[in-house]
Structure 1
Amino acid sequence: MSFLISTPLRRLGRLFCLSSALVAPAAWADSYTDFQQAASRLEAMVAASTADGSLPRLANPGVAALFAQVADGPRLFQAPVAALQDMNQSVALCERATNLGKAYYTFGLQRPLLLSGAELQQARREQVTQNLANYGDEMAALFAFGVHCHAHLIGLMEAEFRTQPAQDVSGAERMRARAFSKGSSTMFANVVQFVQVPYWNGAQKKVMLAAAAQHATANANLMAPPLRERMLTSLAEADKDLDPTLAPALATIRQALSVTSCTGLCQYY
């Protein structure tokens, strides 16, 4: 049976497609501009914080609005803007978000303390613990964005290396791919293993694991099989006292890590 579409409907369909083509790129481009502007404002707010004050919190509606622009990876990386197709500019974008996450994690650690040795180390650990208690939501959002951002970089790197046979890749390029794979894999592993850290609450772990699960295959494909196996082993006890809502994401990550083939960037790890 064939279905006939009336001429007016066909015209309407063509008009809708044309208007989408005209409107969507502007909206996508805005997501990149929004990120840059919001990141600048958030960086300024963080820089203005003093050791006796506090960092911008998501509980503040204005700050939450900035985070909605800075930490929304899925919205940002669907944007086909030229800047996001350039590796250097994309790396710079990832670094901005990473540095914001580090600012929350290390807040207060620069304060001079009249301590040394073990006492100083203990004070630093207590400060980080306090930061996690105060700013865990902010860190979780930024670290989850980091997973989305690195997945975008993985796509760019894979596209670059697919243009030439493996045997034609120079030694310098192999080292570059290896360094990239190692750095991305380490970041991914750190975020996934947060599931076993008691300082993060269930909601924060869910935010980070959801991003990790979404990009589990891309990240696992970077790793040499022995590294995947070690990471699987490190997650052996992750189900102990685990919030049931985290189980599906963790299962997705484990499934990706269980693959034993090694193609693409994995061969340069």
Structure 2
Amino acid sequence: MAERLDGTVALITGASSGIGAAAARTLAGHGAAVSLVARRKDRLDELVEEIEAAGGKALAIEADVTGQDRARNAVERTVSELGRLDTVFNNAGVMLLGPVEGAPTEEWDRMVDLNVKGLLYVAHAALPHLLRAAEDGPRGVADLVNTSSVAGRRARVGSAVYNLTKFGVGAFSESLRQEVAGRHVRVSLVEPGVVDTELQSHLREEIREQTRERFAKIEMLQSEDIADAVAYIVTRPRRVAINEVLIRPTEQAD
């Protein structure tokens, strides 16, 4: 049975679109107050209005979590304005594919800064609050859910640095899970296959075309599919930890 999230607070990064926005709607629908963190404030404000019109509670925080101070401030503002922090969905990320040879290395910097360092900064800042929530919260448990990818399990040509970042997210998540499991903070990994989001629009044109061709005959996942998985993870009873969820479109073979 899914448990309600009433009386809890969830922080979602990358909340201005795609999986993050869908997760915000879904967690708010389960009763959580949601803190929406992203760079595009106008989109966050629209999402806050939507959630509040549906009877939920939401806070928009404009922040680029690749800066440690900004990530920490987003967490602290969440706690200050919403009162606590029980759930973190560490979702902000970017996928910039292409061969290593001749690669524009500024793309590597962007992926490492957001997919790895941003995730680490948010997790580090949130952890004391999650531990406190597990001790005195209404559910006696807290959750940190990190977004990885199929690319965090299998390396492919043209995905070397993206693979590196997502394999790293998996390793970090498992080590932290072991560190805090005994204190009822659950650390989980959600690993989507191809999802119909803005992520592919960040690719260089020639790489974007190759990606379109690769997935042309596949019915892609929708953001709501991943949001449903996140909600499943965080609404389990205290005794149940879902460590990893790998989600591919039915037709995606690799």
TM-score normalized with structure 1 length: 0.34
Higher-helix-fraction structure: 1
TM-score normalized with structure 2 length: 0.35
Higher-strand-fraction structure: 2
Q: Which has the larger radius of gyration?
A: 1
